[in-house]
Chains A and B, each alone.
Chain A
């Protein structure tokens, strides 16, 4: 991949080198190798997806980058600095929205800022901008249980965007949504990304989702997760949901499928969509 020996953060927001993650199973007195010597990088301002089957350790990689999983081997550096635990330079969009049910939309979006010691009034003022960005204006004073699943994920996203992280980590944020809402949210995410241009590391098991959203797709094998291929997606931006219907898009999706299961990516024989 990239030239070896580069240690500065020259245009690289996240550098993962020889990352291995092992879980101990004390009850069985054994260990599981979840991730085996994975290296990849996320250039500043780009959108990179990690795709792979369930159990390939992609969420473990994300949690490690988020600083939530301390016991790993290898090196993880954000803008050239090795991570040691959670940090204000990163923000996580959770798979389940994980909103605080006693806080309104406004309070939840402001919550990340408050964790960063921004005073509550100022945090709420800044949160407003991001509520508008995710198209939830008018819902500021709703409680999470009064929102649909898709709206809850918008709050989840706005909470992470509001702290203006230099690296945005997204853990299968649309996995729990129904197909229609999921499509709509993918469109929303590209719209928001084209405005904010954040650096994103996105986890998904859906290849078409990864291709549609990303500049680069890192394909992982099944457990223990290793890198199978890295595909640069050169589809023009801005992309809309219509992009998904173009031949060029289907071609790239087919390429990625071929890398995972040779022969499965031919356009005449589209594999069933993974839900």
Chain B
């Protein structure tokens, strides 16, 4: 690693000799100013978009029922927040998502690891999961509503199905592709299968579990909101449907903004976790 310093080590962009920094990590001084530039430009672009949107509404270029200007959305958001409605609906959606994902992880991770580890087990499960994985889970919504009624558990079941298949497919593929060399080490040292599983298979599959969780969370949020749009009595999707039918466009936008924010937050959190568990991976 440190013996090979590539050709052409001149110029300002190679001020840091890679050999002198054995622990490669983010946050090198050279990266700082560029990241600032990116954040600033991004902010400017968002603000410009909002301004244009505001002006379009104020000048009457677009119908307010079609597109509420940002200040109206903000006011609607404040009102919903003050009344406690927003918190209530967000809470319901998040609980449906959380319970569904937790159950999906509880079942999907062990089943995925087992299917990646045991070929026979995967032969049993593969055809079933292939069918379900290829089908958008949301099409089961009417059936599930018929079984469980409109409420909490129908959403939970839909999120569970979505999350389970995401986790199963990602984790079983990851475990199946585990580096053979690691397994050979355990075998050559005469490890028992149980220890091999604990010391190689489980830690080796952590990155896939986190990647699967990230997929499951993103798709799960979509599933909750769409399921609520279709049939519900509360939640973010219900807000979109209800206020949309009543032409209260600003309130619809509040629900959309909150949904987007939740999705981005969840993804950012899981991406951080992903980077942390991949810390020991070579930087590509």
Contact = CB atoms under 8 A, between A and B. Distances in A.
Interface string A96-120: 1010111000000001101111000
Nearest to B207: A102
Interface stretch (B57-65, B81-89, B181-189): B181-189
B36 interface: no
Interface string B176-210: 00000110111111111001000110011010000
Contacts of B22: 142, 146
B203 A115 contact: no
A147 interface: yes
A148 interface: yes
B27 interface: no
B184, B185, B192: most-surrounded residue (chain A CB, <10 A): B185
Contact of B187 (A68, A96, A143, A147): A68
Given A146-B23, A148-B1, A148-B2, A98 B190 contact: no
A94 B279 CA distance: 24
B185 A147 contact: no
A100 B3 contact: no
Contact of B185 (A94, A102, A116, A181): A94
B184, B204, B283: most-surrounded residue (chain A CB, <10 A): B184
B281 interface: yes
A66 interface: yes
Contacts, number: 76
A85 B280 CA distance: 32
Interface string B23-59: 1100000000000000000000000000000000000
A191 to B, nearest CB: 21
Interface residues of B, number: 29
Nearest to B191: A115
A181 B200 CA distance: 29
Contacts of B283: 145
A53 interface: no
Contact of B200 (A86, A92, A94, A100): A100
A115 B3 contact: no
A146 B25 CA distance: 11
Contacts of A203: none
Given A102-B203, A102-B280, A116 B189 contact: yes
Interface in B183-241: 184-192, 195, 199-200, 203-204, 206
Contacts of B190: 67, 85-88, 115-116
A112 to B, nearest CB: 5
A178 interface: yes
B282 interface: yes
Given A94-B185, A148-B1, A115 B195 contact: yes
A94 B23 contact: no
Interface in A142-170: 142-149, 163
Interface in B69-116: none
B188 A86 contact: yes
Contacts of A116: 189-190
A188 to B, nearest CB: 16
Interface of A: 66-68, 85-88, 91-92, 94, 96, 98, 100-102, 111-112, 114-117, 142-149, 163, 178, 180-181
Given A117-B195, A147-B1, 5 more contacts: A68-B184, A87-B190, A98-B185, A111-B189, A143-B280
Give the 4 A-B CB pairs with smallest separation, nearest first.
A115-B189, A115-B191, A98-B181, A145-B282
